Structure formats: structure tokens, C-alpha cells
Structure 1
């Protein structure tokens, strides 16, 4: 199937600006949908009116969420700005207001119950997420070099917003991590014997480190069971396991634990933050561990607690 020169030009611009592969896929999807919606007209012949029509279609006909709607708008703004050299002005359709929701969290007991219903690497992934406040994407991207078993810390490289941070490594996971590193070592040694051994690296790093990508410390802690072709540079490498694998295992674990709540991968991160505040940790510390720019983002977890920072007690629980 022939590739569109226009779409490929946008892809190259996205990669030049070092956007994530996830953002690249999302932006290209919405740009394609926009072009198809308007009968495959070229975007240079369109402007604000066509964008408003498309966004109205998403909101009214497709009934997408405000977050999805905003993502589509971001993709179109990017396309017009960088590929058409046209800014979108005076649109009647602005960014949708997203509702402020208090996150669903698990109690400490519930979190451990779900984790204990998992097994193997999925249990270790969940333990790191709840123990260090990691997103699932961050946990799966961890490499052997990111663990400091002496200082009990985990280095999170280029998380959301391209920010690095340090977070906690649970003491009771260190033995399991050491065992997992030995498993990775065995897999890696076999890859080298087979003439491979490269790990998946961002395009900017593979040019810098080259054959160093064959070193053990660069390997993912949770490697995929198969090798694949790198999406940017085309070399054969071993990526990390897919998020879908963990999500399927988590769904079954929640059912076995009989937890009557909606639990997603991100619930562990919410539960980590709530538990840290519940056990008396300073909100600024929790903010740093989560990687939040603004403490206001972290403050939402104070609303989850049964008692807020002022120690408020329900009138139903007072004696007079």
C-alpha cells in the first residue's frame, strides 16, 4: 500500500521534535480521520471551519470524551502549524473542559490482595507500581541500569513530559528483582549467541550509544518473549512486554480478589499517593515521587482520604 507523502512528512516532523511513538500514532490517526471526514481534501485547502465541523462530529455523533476531543484538536493544530504553515484563529470550538474527578483508589489491604492474585512478572510490575507510584508505561520501560538496590531507588527515565525522576524501590521486592535480572541475563546471553542482543532504544540514543545497546545494563527488566524490528531504525531488537498483557492479567486478578471497584493499571499509582499521605508523608515529598509539576495536582489525593489534613470527623461519628 502506497504511503501518503503528506502523512510521511508529518511523521518526520513529529520524530524531529522527539514526540513519543504513542503521540505519533495518535496524531497521525486523527489527522487521517480529519482528511477522510472531509472527502480526502488536502488540508491546505481547509481551515477553521472544517476543523470545527470535524470536532462537532466527534462530540455529537461519535460522542467521544473531552480528553479524546482535545487530543484530536491538538493533532490538527500541530498539522496546520507545522505542515500547512497556518495558525487556527477565532474558532468557535475551543478545548473541551474536562471534568475534575476524584480518582478511584484501593485501600492498602485491597492493593495487596490484588497483587497477591497476580503471578510472575505481572506481580512484580504491580508491586513496583504500587510501591513506587509508577505508571504502567514507566514500569514496563524500566531497564536493569535503573535500579539501585543499595539505595532502594528506581530511576524513571523520560516519563510524562520528558522528565526524569527518582522514586522508591520497595525493600521486599529486591529479591524478586534480583531473580528477574538473572532471567533477563539468560535471555540476553541467548540473544547474543543467536547474533542479536540489541535492546530497543529511542532513535536519539541508538545513534549515541550504538553497540552499547547490547550491554546487559541496557536491557529491559521485563523483556518481550520475542524479538522485533525497531519502528524507527529497523534493527532487530528485544522490546519490553506489552501493556495489554499486564492489563489482561490485572483484570483476572481483580476478579479473583473480589474487589468491587473499577481497577485499572493507573489505580496503583493513585493508591500509592493516597497511602503515602495516609501514613503521614509530606505532600511535597509525594509530589516529587509522582513527578507532578504543581502540588495542586497532588492535592487531589487529599480528597480521597476519609479524614482530610485538618482531621475532620463526620457528624455521625461524634458522641454529642
Structure 2
């Protein structure tokens, strides 16, 4: 009896999981490969090559107007398909029209707007939003925090595998020490109840799960902000309590901007932008801010100098100079 070969997308999933890529990468790659196949009239990728890949990626830039990062993500997915699944090396894709990069200033809230917004929030969502502003973390860095990474004695938070896979350290605001301790105490009770009911496991990256096979039930490895409900792991089927959903934080932020009549397109990430800008306003060195944000290049951090009061350079408008009272 012969077994049929798995369908292409199933082969892609198997290869991604074999290489221990994240579930988000899996979803993204599958999505782009599916779009590529549909764009090319549902032809099998094995019958196509560099010319069709170039055509699709150019279409994304020219017709779809995607951002450079989006085009690069699609390119990575297709290169993975051909190299890892179809075992075909594509020649260098020289003729792709690359998406145009545009320099956009980040949305930044004033200190008064931040205070108004945070005062209008409460509960776990309010605590998370305060942490985003008080530490400069990205939303997923915050939601993926483990209990062991909160250093109360040193007033530090260790961010593991942030963007780019790097670890870094940021401050733990003193005003959040007490509410965070109270929150973690409630989470511990929840974990103890899960254990008593025969659950209590948390997800660990493959290498850690293999190195520490019993760590997934230990208190220190639990998420600081766990989901309210247990759910089945989409890959293994194991029943676990994952971290909280970022969509709930996004909704809380949107509601807070409405309640406080802040007429800016502010998202949770806006609090990170505001963190950086307000530190520079306070006179902190840009290299210090760079390290806290986890930017590899100080040029990325430099964008915040352009949204400071007076354009970041301390320049006084010639109109203001002309209208100054004469000496």
C-alpha cells in the first residue's frame, strides 16, 4: 500500500515545524505562498521559477503598494518554499522592483495626553499599557514576559528574544512595583488552580523544552500576563494557558483615546514612541535610549529627535525671532 505525498502547503508546514519556526512565521509564510499560487493562476510552484517569483514581488510593490518590510516577508516565504521544500535554488532576483521606503514620523503623545490616557484605563489592560509607556517595550515583548524575568530587587525587566532575537534589560518603574506584585500574586493562584486540575503547562521554545523537560509547569516560566482561558496548542494539541491576546490591549488603547478625546491615531506602539521621545526631552543620551529600545542602529533611534519640541534641534523659527520684543 502506497501513501500519497502530502499536499504542498502541508509539506511547507512540516518543514517549518521541523526547523522550529514560530507559529506566526508559519501562518505568514503559508499565507504568502497561497497568494503567490493564486496570483499565478493556481499553477504549482514546481512548474515556475525566478521569473514568476520576480513578477509576483514586483506586483506587490507596484500594484499593491506594499511596504518594503511586507515585500521582504513575501520574498522570504517564497525563498523558503523553493529552497527548503522544493529543493530548488532560485538565481539572484535582480529584476524585482523593490517597494519604496518612506520615512514617516511616529505618532507621539504629549506627557499630558499620556497621563490622561493612562488614568482612563484600569485592570490588567491598564497595567500593560502603563508598562509599555514606562519601559519602552513592544506589545508582544510585554505579553511574552515570564515571571522569572521580572527583577523586583534590581528594578529591572529582562526582555528575552526581542525583535532580532536579542535579549536586553529595561527599567521597572517604581510606580508599577506594587500593582505588578499584586497582579503576579493573582496569576500564581490561577497557576496553582490549573495544576490542581491537571493542567498548568506553558509553552516553551523547542530548545528549552528539550533541555528542561519539566520546566513548563514551573512557576518561574509562566507568563506574567496569561490568557483568561486555557486553549489547545494549534500544533501539538496540548491544553495550555497561553499569554494574553494583543487584540484586547489594542481595543483598550483605542477606547482610552476615545474616552480622553485624543485625536491622534494612537496604538499601544505609540506608547513606545512616547517613551523614547520623552526620555530625549528629559536630556537622556540617545545611546542610552537606543539600548533601552533595543535598536541595533542608532539611526533608528534618531527619528525621535525629529518629533521633539522645536524639531529636535532647538531651532527657533525666524518668525518667532522677528516678533520678539526689541531690547
| TM-score > 0.5 by shorter chain | yes
| Matching residue within 35, 49, 55 for 1:33 | 35
Distance in 2 of aligned mates of 1:56 and 1:287: 34
Bigger drift between 303-312 and 156-165 goes to 303-312
Deviation at 1:109, TM superposition (A): 1.4
* C-alpha contact 2:57 2:97 (8 A) present in aligned 1: no
| Matching residue within 167, 170, 189 for 2:170 | 167
| Matching residue within 215, 219, 223 for 2:218 | 215
Q: Which residue of 2 aligns with 1:152?
A: 155
TM-score (norm 2): 0.91
Q: Which residue of 2 aligns with 1:241?
A: 244
CA-based RMSD: 2.1
Instruction: Tell me the SS of whatever aligns to 2:310.
Output: coil
Instruction: Find out whether 1:228 has 2:231 as its counterpart.
Output: yes
Distance in 1 of aligned mates of 2:313 and 2:142: 34
Q: Which residue of 1 aligns with 2:69?
A: 67
Q: Provide structure 2 residue ranges, at least 5 long, that are not aligned to the other structure.
A: none
Bigger drift between 159-168 and 48-57 goes to 48-57
Q: Which residue of 2 aligns with 1:113?
A: 116
Query: What pairs with 1:238-277 in structure 2 (closer than 5 Å)?
Result: 238-277=241-280
Deviation at 1:120, TM superposition (A): 0.5
Q: Provide structure 1 residue ranges, at least 5 long, that are not aligned to the other structure.
A: none
Instruction: Tell me the SS of whatever aligns to 2:309.
Output: coil
Instruction: Tell me the SS of whatever aligns to 1:199.
Output: coil
Judged with a 3 Å threshold, the aligned counterparts in structure 2 of structure 1 residues 58 and 310 are, in CA distance, closer, same or farther, namely closer
Instruction: Tell me the SS of whatever aligns to 2:158.
Output: strand
Judged with a 3 Å threshold, the aligned counterparts in structure 2 of structure 1 residues 64 and 153 are, in CA distance, closer, same or farther, namely same
Distance in 2 of aligned mates of 1:102 and 1:53: 31
Deviation at 1:316, TM superposition (A): 2.8
Instruction: Tell me the SS of whatever aligns to 2:108.
Output: coil
* C-alpha contact 2:160 2:166 (8 A) present in aligned 1: yes
Instruction: Tell me the SS of whatever aligns to 1:317.
Output: helix
Bigger drift between 63-72 and 40-49 goes to 63-72
Query: What pairs with 1:51-62 in structure 2 (closer than 5 Å)?
Result: 51-59=53-61, 61-62=63-64
| Matching residue within 131, 136, 140 for 2:139 | 136
Say which one has the larger Rg: 2
| Matching residue within 198, 203, 209 for 1:200 | 203
Q: Kindly tell me the number of residue pairs found equivalent between the two proteins.
A: 319
* C-alpha contact 1:274 1:304 (8 A) present in aligned 2: yes
* C-alpha contact 1:73 1:95 (8 A) present in aligned 2: no
Q: Which residue of 2 aligns with 1:79?
A: 81
TM-score (norm 1): 0.93
Distance in 1 of aligned mates of 2:19 and 2:282: 41
